[in-house]
Amino acid sequence: MIIVFIGPPGAGKGTQAALLSQKLQIPCFSMGQLLREAYEEKTPEGVEAWDNYLTKGINVPIGLKFKILRDQMDRAKTGFILDNYPRTNDDLEALKGYLNSTGKKIDRVFHLIIADETCFLRIQKRADNARVKRKDDDLVLLRTRIEEGYRKELPEILEYFQQQGNLVEIDGTQSIKDVLRQINKFFTAGKFKL
C-alpha cells in the first residue's frame, strides 16, 4: 500500500501521515525530515540541500533529493506513506519512473486544503511551542515556501492524480480527529478503528 499526503505548510500532513503510519504499520517518509536528517548527519547531499535550498524556502532539485527517498522506499517491503511528496513536476516524474520500474502503484492521495492565513497561524504556533526551532518555519520564508513549494506546480500534480482516480481532497481546517475520520472512510471497514 502506498499513500501520499499533499498540502501547504501547516495543513496537518505530518500529523495525519504519522497517525496513519501507526494504524497501518507502514513507514512514513517526509522528504523534509529525510533532508533534515541528512543535514544533521552532515552528508554532502544534506548540507547542500539545507544551505542552498531549504533555508531559502526553495525546492531542492530532484537529483539531490530523490536518491535519499528512493533508498527508503526500496527498504519498505509492505508499503509506505509519503508526506508532502511529490511537490514539483520533477518530483512527480521521478516518482512515476520509480513506480513503473518497481511495479508499484499509489493507492490514495490525500490533499489537505487550508487557507494561507491558517498556514501562517499554525506555523507560528508550531514555532512558538517548539523546543527546537526549525529554520524553515521562519514566517518570511513561509510565504516563499507556499508560493514556490506548493502552489507553483501543484495544479498539474493534482490533475495527474485526479486522472489516476486516486485523489481525495479534504478540508484540513477540521480537527485532527475529524480529518482522520474523513481519511478512514477510504479504507476497508474494520481495517483499523479510530
Q: What is the pLDDT of residues 48-81, one digit of tens each?
A: 998 998 888 777 889 888 988 998 999 998 999 9
Between strands 167-171 and 108-113, the pairing is: parallel
pLDDT digits (tens, 9 = 90+) for 14-60: 999 999 999 999 999 998 889 989 999 998 888 999 899 888 877 78
Q: pTM for this structure?
A: 0.80
Most confidently modeled of 79-88, 133-142, 178-187? 79-88
Domain 2-182 has CATH 3.40.50.300: yes
Angle at Cα 103 formed by Cα 190 and Cα 107, nearest 5°?
30
What's CA 19's distance to the chain center, in Å? 14
Structure confidence at residue 190 as a pLDDT band (50, 70, 90): very low
Q: Is the pLDDT of residue 99 over 80?
A: yes
Among 89-103, 115-129, 130-144, the minimum mean pLDDT is found in 130-144
Q: Is the pLDDT of residue 101 over 90?
A: yes
pLDDT at position 192: 45
Listed by start position, the domains of the chain span 2-182
Q: Is the pLDDT of residue 109 over 60?
A: yes
pLDDT at position 122: 72
Classify 33 as helix, strand or coil: helix
H-run or E-run covering 182:
helix 176-184
Between strands 108-113 and 2-6, the pairing is: parallel
Owner of C-alpha cell 514556490: 148
Q: What is the largest CA-CA distance in the chain?
A: 46
pLDDT digits (tens, 9 = 90+) for 135-176: 555 666 666 666 665 667 888 999 999 999 999 999 999 999
pLDDT at position 20: 94
Per the CB < 8 A criterion, the answer to whether 162 and 1 are in contact is no
Residue 157's closest CA among 126, 192, 103, 111?
A: 111
Q: Is the pLDDT of residue 131 over 70?
A: no
